[in-house]
Amino acid sequence: MSEAPPKIRIRGLSKAFGAKIVLDSLDLDVPAGRGFVVIGGSGSGKSVLIKCILGLIEPDAGTIEIDGRNVLAMHRSERETVNTRIGMLFQQGALFDSLPVWENVAFGLLARKMMRRAEAKPRAIEILAQVGLGSDVADLYPSELSGGMQKRVALARAIAARPDLIFFDEPTTGLDPIMGAIIDALIVEQVERLGATAFSITHDMASAQRIGNEIAMIHKGKIIWQGPAERIYDSGNPYVDQFVRGKSEGPITMEVRG
Amino acid sequence: MTVLLDLLAAIGRGALGLVSAAGSVAVFGAVALSHVVRPPFYPRLLARQMMEIGYFSLPVVALTAIFSGMVLALQSYTGFARFSAEGAIATVVVLSITRELGPVLAGLMVAGRIGAAIAAELGTMRVTDQIDALTTLSTNPIKYLVVPRLVAATIVLPLLVIVADILGVLGGFIVGVAKLEFNPATYMQRTWEFLEVQDVVSGLVKAAVFGFIIALMGCYQGYHSRGGAQGVGAATTNAVVSASILILTFNYVITELFFAR
C-alpha cells in the first residue's frame, strides 16, 4: 500500500478541550480509492478527528494533508475549493429542514454555481433515484420522511457533487439492522461508482466490515491498530479484540465521567 | 471575611464574563458586517427574511402601536386637564410616539417575536449539525444564515416603525375625537404643528439600530448554542433578554446623541 501516496496523511494531530485531551499526537494514512473505517468507543476522539479533517474544528497541533497538500495551512478560499471535492454524511443526516428534499440534494451544486435551479431539480431527482428514492419525495420536507429515507437523502446530498473523498459519520446509527445493511450497501455501491475514497467512523462492527477494506482503531486519541478489514477479528491486539467482540473485560476501561 | 471575598470573586467573575461576552458579540457582529459587502449574496434569503421579520410582525406592531397611542391620549388628558393644558395632548402623543414609543415598543415586540425565532432556528441548526453541513457544502454559514437576517431586520424595522408611528397617532386621534371630544381638524393640526423632521428621523434611526441588535443577538446566541434542547432554550431566552436590554440602553444613547443640548 505504500507505493501510492495516501489520500489523507495525518501527522501529530492534537486537540484538547480544556484539560481533556481528545486527540493525542495522532498519525494516520488513509489509502486512496478504498473504504477506510476508523472504529472506536464513545469519547475515543473519532468524531473530533473527522471534524478536524473537514475543517470544522481547528486542531491545536499537527498537519493534515489531503492529496499531498496541508489543508490546515490553507487560506479559507483554498480550503473551500478543496471542500468542493469532499462529501460528508452526518450522523443524524443534518438535512436542512427549511428546504425541500430536492434542494437539500442539490444544495452543493447550487452553492458552487455548478448549475441553475431549473437544471438542478431534475439532476437532484436523478441522484435520489441512485439511492433508491422516487421523484415523489423531491418536494417533501425532511421532517416528512422516515429515518431510513432521511439517511438516503443525506447520502444523495453527500454524493451529489461527485466528490472523490466522502466522509461517513456513524452511517448506520439510529437505523434498524436491515436498514443499516441497506444503507451500507448503497454507500459501497455509490463510492465504487464514483471511484472515491470513503472515510467512515463507526462503532458498529457489522457496518465497519461491510464498508471497510481497511480498518484502524482509535483509543484515547491515538491510532492503536491499523490493518485489513478481514484481519479485524484476528488482530493480535488486545484492545481491538476486546472492542470487536464487545467484551466488558479487557484493557479498555470505560470512563464513566468524560 | 471569606464571605466577603467570595462575594467579590463572584462579582469579578460576572464582570469578566460580561466583558468577554461583549467582546465576542462585537467580533461576531464585525465578521458578519464584513460579509455583508462581499459576494456571494443571497437575495432570495434576504427577501424571505424581510417577509418573515417585517410583514409577519405587522399585526403585533400595529396592535401595540394603536393601543399605546390610545392610552397615551387618555393618560395625558388626565394629567393635563389638571392645569388646563388639554390642547397639548395631540403634540404629546405624536412626539412620544415618533421619538420613543414607536421604535421602543416595536423593537421590544419584534425582539420577542423575531429574536427568539432566530435564536431557536439557528440553535437547532447548530445542535443538529446543519451549520457544519453548510460548511461542508462550500457555503459560509455566516453569509448564508446571519447576513440575510441582519440586513433584513435593519431594513424592515424602520418600515415597521413608520407604520407604528401612523397607527399610534391614529390611536391618539380616535380617543381624542371619540372620547375627549376634540375637533378632528384641530387635533390633526396640533399633531402637525410642533412635529419636526428630526423627531421622526431619530425614531427611524433608532429602529434601524434596534433591528440590527435584535438580529445580531438572535444569530449570536443561536449560532453559539450548545447542548441539545436545553441549550437552544437558553439561547432563545438569552437572545430576547439581551436584545431587550440593549434596545433600552441604545435608546438612551441615541436620544442623547440626537437631542442633547
Query: Using the beta-carbon criterion (under 8 Å), do A80 and B129 form an inter-chain contact?
Result: no
Per-residue pLDDT at A164: 92
Per-residue pLDDT at B242: 95
| Whole-angstrom distance, CA of residue B126 vs CA of residue B209 | 26
Intra-chain end-to-end CA distance of chain B, in Å = 47
Residue of chain A whose alpha carbon sits nearest to that of B41: A111
Neighbours of B74 (CB within 10 A): 16
B136 touches A: beta carbon within 8 Å: yes
Q: Out of A88, A92, A97, name the one closest to residue B136 (CB).
A: A88
Residue A107 with chain B: CB contacts under 8 Å: 137, 139
Query: Using the beta-carbon criterion (under 8 Å), do A94 and B130 form an inter-chain contact?
Result: yes
| Whole-angstrom distance, CA of residue A69 vs CA of residue A77 | 14
Chain B nearest C-alpha distance from A233 (Å): 33
Residue A142 with chain B: CB contacts under 8 Å: none
Phi then psi for B24, rounded to 5 degrees?
A: -75, -30
Inter-chain Cβ pairs, chain A and chain B, closer than 8 A: 45
pLDDT above 80 (res A258): no
User: 22-51 in A: which are within 8 Å (CB) of B?
Assistant: 51
pLDDT above 60 (res B189): yes
The domain ranges of chain B are 42-259
pLDDT above 60 (res A257): no
The cell for A7 is: 489520500
Q: Out of B121, B129, B139, name the one closest to residue A90 (CB).
A: B129
What does pLDDT average to over chain B? 94
Domains in chain A, start-ordered, CATH in brackets? 1-85+164-251 (3.40.50.300), 95-162 (no CATH)
Residue A95 with chain B: CB contacts under 8 Å: 130, 133
- CA-nearest of A52, A55, A59 to A77 is A55
Band of the pLDDT at B98, cuts 50, 70, 90?
A: very high
B132 touches A: beta carbon within 8 Å: yes
Residue B135 with chain A: CB contacts under 8 Å: 54-56, 83
| Whole-angstrom distance, CA of residue B50 vs CA of residue B47 | 5
Band of the pLDDT at A3, cuts 50, 70, 90?
A: low
Of A201-205, B111-115, B208-212, B230-234, which gets the smallest average pLDDT?
A201-205
Q: What's the mean pLDDT in A21-29?
A: 93
Per-residue pLDDT at A166: 94
Band of the pLDDT at B227, cuts 50, 70, 90?
A: confident
| CB-based burial, A180-214: b 16+ in 10 Å, e otherwise | bebbbebbbebbeebebbbbbbbbbbebbbbbbeb
Q: What's the mean pLDDT in B18-47?
A: 93
Residue of chain A whose alpha carbon sits nearest to that of B128: A94
Residue B128 with chain A: CB contacts under 8 Å: 92, 94
* Cβ proximity of A60 and A15 under 8 Å: yes
Chain A nearest C-alpha distance from B187 (Å): 49
Residue A91 with chain B: CB contacts under 8 Å: 129
For residue A17, list its beta bridge partners.
A20
A171 touches B: beta carbon within 8 Å: no
Query: Using the beta-carbon criterion (under 8 Å), do A107 and B136 form an inter-chain contact?
Result: no
A53 touches B: beta carbon within 8 Å: no
Of A42-46, B14-18, B91-95, which gets the smallest average pLDDT?
A42-46
- Alpha helix (H) residue ranges in chain B: 2-36, 43-53, 58-80, 89-96, 102-110, 116-127, 130-136, 141, 147-174, 184-193, 197-223, 228-259
Pairing type for strands A8-17 and A61-66 reads antiparallel
Q: Out of A86, A88, A96, name the one closest to residue B130 (CB).
A: A96
**Residue A80: enclosing H or E segment and its boundaries?**
helix A76-83
Q: Out of A55, A97, A108, name the one closest to residue B137 (CB).
A: A108
Residue of chain A whose alpha carbon sits nearest to that of B131: A94
Chain B nearest C-alpha distance from A15 (Å): 18
User: 61-90 in A: which are within 8 Å (CB) of B?
Assistant: 80, 83-84, 86-88, 90
**Residue A198: enclosing H or E segment and its boundaries?**
strand A197-202
**Diameter of chain A measured on Cα atoms:** 58
What does pLDDT average to over chain A? 89
Phi then psi for A91, rounded to 5 degrees?
A: -55, -50
Q: Out of B132, B133, B138, name the one closest to residue A80 (CB).
A: B138
Query: Using the beta-carbon criterion (under 8 Å), do A88 and B138 form an inter-chain contact?
Result: no
